[in-house]
Amino acid sequence: MSARRIDGKAAALDLRQRVAGEVAKLRSASGRAPGLAVVLVGEDPASAVYVRAKGKATIEAGMESFEHQLPADTPEADLLDLVDRLNADPAVDGILVQLPLPPQIDANKVITRIDPDKDVDGFNPVNAGRLAIGLHGFVPCTPLGCLKMLRAELGDLSGRSAVVIGRSNIVGKPLALLLLSDNCTVTIAHSRTRDLPAVVRRADIVVAAVGRAEMVKGDWIKPGACVIDVGINRVGPVEPGAKGRLVGDVDFASASEVAGAITPVPGGVGPMTIACLIRNTFVSAARREDFRYGKDL
Ligand code: NDP
């Protein structure tokens, strides 16, 4: 058996085009474009790549992108001041502070300072709380992208057993809550889980968000299960200048022989994460302008 390959790039393009259509309508109704402010502190190369990709996608959707690049030694107080200014700026609908932050800055303090109604990353504790009790807020982009791909692949998720491997605040926990609200029976696995292969083998839906290259093997997967691989791991040569290659947390070759459907890495969850950020920024502007948009966004 060979699993269907879930095309995250195509799904992301479709979502971004639909958002762009709604953005055009919002612009003509309100006379302004939604705006996303992205703050990068320091020069982490991976973060710089993500920030560039986010800015490009924002502009392509017809929205304004405001990029703020600060030096690595920026004091925490200066970053908090910038967040306060962005909170007060009417042209800014979404604020994203790229993580990780340098050691002198407490990321939790910064995340908590972002206005929850502009927190398009969904990391502010107010939005985490809203998600936990089923209120409208902002859902973190990676879990939202995973949910959208699962719904597109499987339709109604009701009654399915789901195992989420990983319990981080930005992926594992929010995704488990989203699956629960779609009526899955959810198990959250982590580094202390006993006999992880047996736990995974029971699942109709497997989401791996661990950060360990190709950890989940094909013989852990129930035949026909749907596998979403969130992991991004660089493997290969370690010599200076050598780039290596990106792999997920799932051993794609062996898992594809057993699963019903699977996301590749790259080209799976990654593109959907950016598309969901664009979506959340539009939604923030739409809420502020009291603008109605299609429910399936
Ligand atoms: P974290 O490091 O914050 O969390 C990893 C989780 O995996 C923890 O809950 C940890 O358990 C668990 N874990 C670690 N080792 C094992 C193990 N041997 N068995 C079972 N569970 C284990 O990572 P993130 O959630 O931030 O990210 C996970 C992965 O997803 C990374 O590869 C990251 O790069 C990628 N990612 C991809 C994104 C995308 O857009 N595609 C976006 C965000 C992340 P414990 O809590 O017990 O320590």
* Predicted pLDDT of residue 1: 66
Cβ 15 vs Cβ 271: under 8 Å: no
In order of 51, 58, 131, 268, the CA distances from 178 in angstroms are 26, 25, 8, 19
Q: How far is CA 20 from the centre of its chain?
A: 19
Surface-to-core class of residue 2, CB atoms within 10 Å of its CB (0-12 exposed, 13-18 middle, 19+ buried): exposed
From CA 232, how far away is CA 213, in angstroms rounded?
8
206 CA from centroid of ligand 1 (Å): 14
Could you tell me the distance, in angstroms and rounded to a whole number, from the CA of residue 13 to the centre of ligand 1? Answer: 26
From 231, 252, 226, select the one nearest 162 (Cα to Cα): 226
Expressed in angstroms and rounded, the spacing between residue 20 Cα and the centre of ligand 1 is 31
Please choose, from the candidates 168, 109, 110, 111, the residue with its C-alpha nearest in 3D space to the C-alpha of residue 142.
168
Q: Which residues line ligand 1 (CB under 6 A)?
A: 142, 165-168, 170-172, 189-193, 196, 209-212, 230-233, 269-270, 273
pTM of the model: 0.97
Domain boundary assignment for the chain:
31-115, 141-270
Distance in Å, CA 231 to ligand 1 centroid: 7
**Shortest-distance Cα residue to atom 40 of ligand 1:** 270
For tokens 């996301």, the residue is: 263
Atom of ligand 1 nearest to the CA of 165: 21
Specify the pLDDT at position 289: 97
Nearest CA to ligand 1 atom 30: 231
Return the ligand 1 atom nearest residue 190 CA.
21
- Residue 291 Cα distances to 29, 176, 287, angstroms: 8, 30, 6
pLDDT at 240: 67
* Nearest-10 crossing angle of helices 172-181, 125-133: 30
Q: Which CATH number fits domain 31-115: 3.40.50.10860, 3.40.50.720, 3.30.930.10, 3.40.30.10?
A: 3.40.50.10860
Active site residues: 54, 98, 121
CA–CA distance, 106 with 285 (Å, rounded to integer): 28
Predicted local confidence at residue 27, as pLDDT: 98
Tokens found for residue 235:
């493997």
**Identical fold at 31-115 and 141-270?**
yes
- CATH 3.40.640.10 is held by the domain 141-270: no
For residue 215, what pLDDT is reported? 98
Per-residue pLDDT 10s for the chain (297 aa) are: 699 999 999 999 999 999 999 999 999 999 999 999 999 999 999 899 999 999 999 999 999 999 999 999 999 999 999 999 999 999 999 999 999 999 999 999 999 999 999 999 999 999 999 999 999 999 999 999 999 999 999 999 999 999 999 999 999 999 999 999 999 999 999 999 999 999 999 999 999 999 999 999 999 999 999 999 999 999 987 666 677 899 999 999 999 999 999 999 999 999 999 999 999 999 999 999 999 998 889
261-262 vs 4-5, strand pairing mode:
parallel
- Two structure tokens written together for 290: 């009291």
Nearest CA to ligand 1 atom 19: 191
Distance (Å, whole) CA 209 – CA 29: 40
